[in-house]
Structure 1
Amino acid sequence: MKMWERNLIVCWFGMFVTSIGMSQIAPVLPLYIKHLGISNTNLIEQFSGIAFGATFIISAIFSPIWGHAADKFGRKPMLLRASLGMAIVVGSMGFAPNVYVLIGLRLLQGIITGYSTACTTLIATQTDKENAGWALGTLSTSSIAGSLIGPMIGGFIEENFGLKNVFFITGSLLMIAFIATLLFVKESFIGEDKGKLSAKEIWSIVPDKSLTIIMFITSFILALALYSVEPIVTVYVTQLSVNTSHVALLAGMVFSAAGFANIISAPRLGKLSDKIGAHKVILAALILAGVIFIPQAFVKNPWQLMGLRFLLGLAMGGLNPSINTLVKKITPESLTGRVFGFNISAQYLGVFGGSILGGQVAACLGIRYVFFITGALLLMNAIWVYFKVYKKLVLKEDPLGI
């Protein structure tokens, strides 16, 4: 087995588990906050929103910082730091004496994250060109699937093993990821000292700034689209269900359907992007995803919604690997960690923004408008990509040879 293949296996598991660690708390937060002594319903909802969203906002701030550290000191040290740190912090949440300590630990979790940034950089820089798209596509399934399936796993653990064991079991899995990284990840790293350069000077080294920015914004909209239904999915499933005795389970299945589909399609579409070009896959995936969002507003039962969410996951599976492949090709290797750090920051902001967008649109206009507006954003993004990326790389001579 080649070094990059072994690294890919370990990084996939590690990113899957760390993504679960970021998101598994969503369905159990209100219950745990109530367990910690908060009885007022409004306060429970308020603290739940703060505890869930704060981690992603802080992670968006610190991802580029850890990306910088990965470029300077190596990617494996960052993997070890993030996995061990998250194992300790997530496990400690089970011992939180009150809600303020819990929120503090969630903030600390956001600070020490960076596993995804280091993994993506490691695989992007050490995988041969012929397999880069497939490798990044496979890797991207771990993060998205972990984030989308995490809430369902958290709910399952809570129901079968108890509230505190959600944190203890997840912390144990993160410790396994740390040990696997320590033993099996190998890295050939020669750092370049760019640490003394300012952010402005670093940005001046990036060859194609406009294309890089478009990829960041596309990553943001991708995450926003996937998470825009999170605040409203349980309510929507309740409206669609005749029998409401299994609403929580159905809502979890609906939300996670896109994650399961992503696991299937991302490696294949990543490999396709190696053959026909990442820009073509990005454009097609954006159009298909935008179109698939619209009929979700007209479904008659939860199973139709689940089927459309599955199709959405198949289409969107081509976006993350293709974006990463394109970013890798236009970024100097010495800056890869920082650029991927900014890209992952955009995704974290999209997770937070999607949750806010879905809740606000549903409250002001109605649940069905969440699907209309999210679909419209994806289609507008597709139009932008067509004129600024696709036409540039296909209809004109590309000086970068992408």
Structure 2
Amino acid sequence: MKGLQQTGMVAVWILTIGMSLLAICYTMIIPFLPVYLLELGVEQEGLALWSGLTFSISFFVAAVMAPIWGRLADRHGKKLMAIRAGILIGVSYLMAAFVQDAFQLLLVRAFQGFANGFMPAAMTMVSLSVPKERVGTAMGIFQMGLVLGNTVGPFTGGLTELAVGMRPVFLVAGITLFIVTAAVAIFVKEPIVETEIPVQVSSFMDDLREAKRNRVLIHILALYFVVQSAMLMLQSIVAIYVGDLKGSMEGAAMLAGSILSGGGVMGMITTNLWAAYGQRKGYFKGISYALLGTGMVLILQSLPFGLWWFGALQLLIGVFIVGIFPSLGSAMTVNTDPSVRGRVFGLATTAQQLGNMMGPLFASLVATYFGISYVFSVAGLGMIIIGYVVLKVYGQRPNIQE
């Protein structure tokens, strides 16, 4: 048994390193898509709209495909789905390096949405590689890898964009994805699913009907959607907001990347504290406090007092926001059967991708009609309300039910 646990933790660490590299590639690119659109000839007046479309189309396609990939993962293996996603995402990054206009980038982003699925497959393997009572620890380690990637990526992407433009960033990301995929294929074994419930062939509607019988799962999926919407509202406009505070878009990508990386450093320091807290006191309690703290700081960030104010508060954002998703993943793990874990994470990914799609669109509307700073206040208020509701409804719920 001890040997199996050690083998499981080896898989957790390999997947964490792979996810960290994937996150670096992602955050080297995503916050700076508006800058790339400017390089491709989009006028400043239409930048918010094109940014919203370019962000959202990938997430819409990914939302459609996520439950399909989740079911295939349950039937044919999570490792196979991770390899499939890694290869296709790498190809999509290489394609993005050679686009000539905004419409071509839009098509490539749609293909990226089709290719998506590495993260839910990796999270599923992590959740199945350790005993249920250690899920919080494993998810905390995995989240640490994500936070590390989110820390290094923006700074690296901003620095590269400043030096040579965005195209080389896509090339590096594509090659990195191929290396990560090869490592997973060679070193990670398919986890053994211990359950008395056989894996069944089901449709997306079957999965939804099954999920409706699990009230807690439905609420977790709703949380994934709402939180991801709020986060992508911010991510799609942060470079533009930094440019506004600075008074010019020149060097805004580098500055935005540095600010985001600072928040990532604080998140990396505190991620295991959140994981330990959730494992001891309850994952939902951890979720609620992380949401409340994030929301309050976002409202403070909406006050346009300058770059130093925004940057300092971003450090505090990193402390709170890192506590949300590992606790959500852990709460979902302890409230679902291992035999449907792939499909459940597929549904969670669909909820996230729908949030990813709606967030940038909503942000572009708020920014266009009210101003960019209002995006932060709207997102912050939403997180405070949701955090309060979670605390009232599930704040006393234990992780493992008797």
TM over 0.5: yes
- Residue identity in the other structure for 1:8: V
TM-aligned CA distance change 1:162 to 1:200, over 3 Å: closer
- 8 Å CA contact retained: 2:211, 2:218: no
Deviations, residues 189-216 of structure 1 (Å, cap 9, x unaligned): 3597644334454445559622112212
Q: Corresponding residue for 1:4?
A: 8
- Residue identity in the other structure for 1:6: V
Q: Corresponding residue for 2:130?
A: 127
Corresponding position: 1:369 with 2:368: no
Corresponding position: 1:274 with 2:279: yes
Q: Corresponding residue for 2:306?
A: 301
Deviations, residues 267-309 of structure 1 (Å, cap 9, x unaligned): 2211221122112211221222222222223352212212212
- Residue identity in the other structure for 2:268: I
Deviates more, 1:233-242 or 1:66-75: 233-242
Q: Distance in 1 between matches of 2:242 and 2:43?
A: 26
Deviations, residues 151-178 of structure 1 (Å, cap 9, x unaligned): 5433332333444322211111101101
Q: Corresponding residue for 2:266?
A: 261
Corresponding position: 1:156 with 2:159: yes
Q: Secondary structure at the match of 1:264?
A: helix
Q: Distance in 1 between matches of 2:93 and 2:134?
A: 34
Q: Secondary structure at the match of 2:235?
A: coil
Q: Distance in 2 between matches of 1:295 and 1:45?
A: 23
- 8 Å CA contact retained: 1:137, 1:318: no
Identity rate, percent: 27
Selected match of 1:167 from 170, 181, 203: 170
Alignment of 1:68-87 (within 5 A): 68-87=71-90
Selected match of 1:14 from 14, 18, 29: 18
Q: Distance in 2 between matches of 1:370 and 1:84?
A: 35
Equivalenced residues, count: 396
Deviations, residues 305-324 of structure 1 (Å, cap 9, x unaligned): 12212212211211111111
Deviations, residues 111-148 of structure 1 (Å, cap 9, x unaligned): 12111011110111121234311211221344466467
- 8 Å CA contact retained: 2:301, 2:310: yes
- Residue identity in the other structure for 1:14: G
**TM-score, length basis structure 1:** 0.86
Q: Distance in 2 between matches of 1:241 and 1:32?
A: 19
Selected match of 2:395 from 376, 387, 390: 390
Deviates more, 1:303-312 or 1:240-249: 240-249
Structure 2 alignment gaps of length 5 or more: none
Corresponding position: 1:287 with 2:288: no
Corresponding position: 1:67 with 2:70: yes
- Residue identity in the other structure for 1:119: A
Q: Corresponding residue for 1:400?
A: 401
Q: Distance in 2 between matches of 1:370 and 1:104?
A: 27
Q: Distance in 1 between matches of 2:218 and 2:316?
A: 28
Deviates more, 1:1-10 or 1:65-74: 1-10
Q: Secondary structure at the match of 1:25?
A: helix
Q: Corresponding residue for 1:335?
A: 340
Q: Distance in 2 between matches of 1:43 and 1:202?
A: 40
TM-aligned CA distance change 1:379 to 1:91, over 3 Å: same
- 8 Å CA contact retained: 2:158, 2:256: no
- 8 Å CA contact retained: 2:162, 2:254: no
Selected match of 1:322 from 327, 332, 348: 327
- Residue identity in the other structure for 2:401: L
Once the two structures are TM-superposed, the CA of residue 179 in structure 1 deviates from its matched residue by 1.4
TM-aligned CA distance change 1:154 to 1:216, over 3 Å: same
Once the two structures are TM-superposed, the CA of residue 369 in structure 1 deviates from its matched residue by 2.6
TM-aligned CA distance change 1:309 to 1:146, over 3 Å: same
Q: Corresponding residue for 1:222?
A: 227
- Residue identity in the other structure for 1:155: G
Corresponding position: 1:51 with 2:54: yes
- Residue identity in the other structure for 1:120: M
Deviations, residues 226-267 of structure 1 (Å, cap 9, x unaligned): 332334434543454489865443222334443333322222
Structure 1 alignment gaps of length 5 or more: none
Deviates more, 1:108-117 or 1:142-151: 142-151
TM-aligned CA distance change 1:179 to 1:114, over 3 Å: same
- 8 Å CA contact retained: 2:92, 2:112: yes
Deviations, residues 313-360 of structure 1 (Å, cap 9, x unaligned): 211211111111111111011111111121122222323333223332
Q: Secondary structure at the match of 1:338?
A: helix
Q: Secondary structure at the match of 1:298?
A: coil
- 8 Å CA contact retained: 1:148, 1:259: yes
